[in-house]
Chains A and B, each alone.
Chain A
Amino acid sequence: MCGFIKDKTPKAVARRKRIVLTSFAILLASVVLLPLGGYLYSGLSAQAAAEEQTNPRANYWRAVRQGNTGYTAVMGQETNTLIQNGGQNWRQWRNGPVANISPWFLALVLLSLGLLFLLRGTMKIEGTLSGRTVTRYNVAERVIHWYVAILFIILTITGLSLLFGRAVLIPILGYSGFSDWANFSILLHNYLGPFFTVGVVLAVIAWIKDNIPTATDWQWFKEGVGGILAKGKHPHAERFNAGEKVFVFWLGLIVLGAIVSITGFMLIGWIGEQMRATMQLVNVIHAVASIVWIGIICGHIYLGLATEGALQGMTRGQVSEEWAKQHHDLWYKQAKKG
């Protein structure tokens, strides 16, 4: 065999090459595949173990851990459930994302509005005031607006106190001081909530006819969001501009109003039976929807104050003709016609 290596005929060389390549391929395949054999072994043995060791009693406690129910002589809500797991999830959601992200959201809203004020300042009425006015809101509309507004502010303060008071107000008021405030807050919040819903419904009835989206609204957004971001632009607007329609009316009063009211009724037990799983879900939805709504209303208040001449419409019911021509030209023409 000592002549084997020395054999340099092409046939022998090719054979040697083939042997080397094949051995290398087998080696490589073994390196990759053999360790996987462990899975096969452990898979089979685990299966065998599972078949052997299914302990009926352990399965029984696993079922209990999933919140199944039994019988109890004690009367009360959900007393026959031994363990409920939802509470832990609710705790993580409420004390986690809800309590941690929402302050940043509200801070961002306020910061953006502050920045807008620095960049844009008060949105003045252009030209000189003639002193002529036009009626913008009648008494009923103004009463509805301020009724909803005052309740919104009370519910915001009391609601935020219950969510953030432990972190923010206990260091200021102390434990018993904050407890008194929280007690007052929860009563006020729970009792005034339904009255707020009545106001929301009245507001929807009062203003739905002026909030139907039209083609003008799209143009309003395109022209520097109604000239809020772009100075000097005054796109056409009807009685309510597109921003008011989208954010204050449809998203605010209709969508968030419905969500916050329904979840609120569930939380005080007017709808449903205050089951724990429901309460956990509904509490988070109520908080998130309310905070989004508070953000929108911050913008609403800002624009009402930063637009010169806008507030008078809601306080005295009258706006100057110049204001009307500048901000709600289409409505002004309608109002003049009669």
Chain B
Amino acid sequence: MARMKFLCDAERCIECNACVTACKNEHEVPWGVNRRRVVVLNDGVPGEKSISVACMHCTDAPCAAVCPVDCFYTTDDGIVLHDKDLCIGCGYCFYACPFGAPQYPQQSAFGVRGKMDKCTFCAGGPTADNSDAEYAKYGRNRIAEGKLPLCAEMCSTKALLAGDGDLVADIYRQRVIRRGGRPQTWGWETAYQS
């Protein structure tokens, strides 16, 4: 069984934010919610690097560990999903997540946040695949359609890779061999245990 992973090649990412836009459009995520973001480090100085980051679908997911209602589950593909019908919007997953992935549609008085939203690796949620209910809550389920996440598919420089971890690692390894230098499998030590 494939183990789905994201990898952003910092040597290639040009901070075009197409992944962010593609994700917002594909899943019709509400205002203020961004399932993916691009962070530029050392902006405007030599050595500037950009990284596209979203939920990394961790092996031992901290969000799932701290959720008071236990609404997270990991699919057979290693994708971490959550059940919005169970979510109480407490914010704990956001406190625990290393990547700042969980998002909330509101932030009002008395700490009311609404149901958490995050990257689903384009795999929807617990409701029936490609149903209207699934689309409304979690966005499109491209995995069920046999497609990979749109952010990576859209990436103009193929900096963002998404798919079976072994294949992603192979592609990246070939790149590193060709261009020389050291691999920077960004975030993998934090996210994945194998």
CB distance from A188 to the nearest CB of B (A): 10
Decide if B43 touches A81 in the complex (CB within 8 Å): no
Decide if A175 touches B86 in the complex (CB within 8 Å): yes
Asked whether any CB of chain A lies closer than 8 Å to the CB of B179, the reply is no
Decide if B41 touches A75 in the complex (CB within 8 Å): no
Interface size class of A (residues with CB under 8 A): 35 or more
Asked whether any CB of chain A lies closer than 8 Å to the CB of B49, the reply is yes
Q: A163: which B residues are within 8 A, CB to CB?
A: 68
CB distance from A150 to the nearest CB of B (A): 19
Decide if B42 touches A83 in the complex (CB within 8 Å): no
Given A60-B41, A61-B184, A72-B38, A176 contacting B86 (CB threshold 8 A): yes
Decide if A56 touches B41 in the complex (CB within 8 Å): no
Contact residue among B39, B62, B103, B186 (Cβ-Cβ distance under 8 Å from A70): B39
**In the complex the two chains form, what is the Cα distance from A84 to B101 in whole Å?**
11
**In the complex the two chains form, what is the Cα distance from A162 to B111 in whole Å?**
15
Q: A268: which B residues are within 8 A, CB to CB?
A: 109-111
Chain A 290-301: CB-based contact to B (< 8 A → 1; otherwise 0): 000000000000
Chain A 265-297: CB-based contact to B (< 8 A → 1; otherwise 0): 001110000101001100100000000000000
Majority SS at the chain B contact face: loop
CB distance from A304 to the nearest CB of B (A): 32
Contact residue among A162, A176, A191 (Cβ-Cβ distance under 8 Å from B68): A162
Decide if A61 touches B186 in the complex (CB within 8 Å): yes
Given A83-B190, A269-B107, A179 contacting B88 (CB threshold 8 A): yes
Decide if B69 touches A165 in the complex (CB within 8 Å): yes
Closest A residue to B96 using CB positions: A87
How many residues belonging to B are interface residues under a CB distance threshold of 8 Å?
A: 52
Contact residue among A58, A84, A88, A190 (Cβ-Cβ distance under 8 Å from B110): A190
CB distance from B57 to the nearest CB of A (A): 15
Decide if B85 touches A74 in the complex (CB within 8 Å): no
Q: Which of A26-34, A89-97, A317-325 contacts B (4 or more CB under 8 A)?
A: A89-97
Give A residues with C-beta under 8 Å from B.
Answer: 55-58, 60-61, 64-65, 68, 70-76, 78-88, 90-91, 94-95, 162-163, 165-166, 170, 175-176, 178-179, 182-183, 186-187, 190-191, 267-269, 274, 276, 279-280, 283
A-B contact pairs, 5 of them (CB 8 A): A71-B40, A75-B34, A86-B95, A165-B69, A166-B69
Give B residues with C-beta under 8 Å from A.
Answer: 15, 17, 20, 32, 34, 37-43, 47, 49, 51, 53, 62, 65-71, 83, 85-92, 94-100, 103, 107, 109-112, 181-182, 184, 186-187, 190
**Which A-B residue pairs are the 3 nearest by beta carbons?**
A268-B111, A74-B37, A70-B41
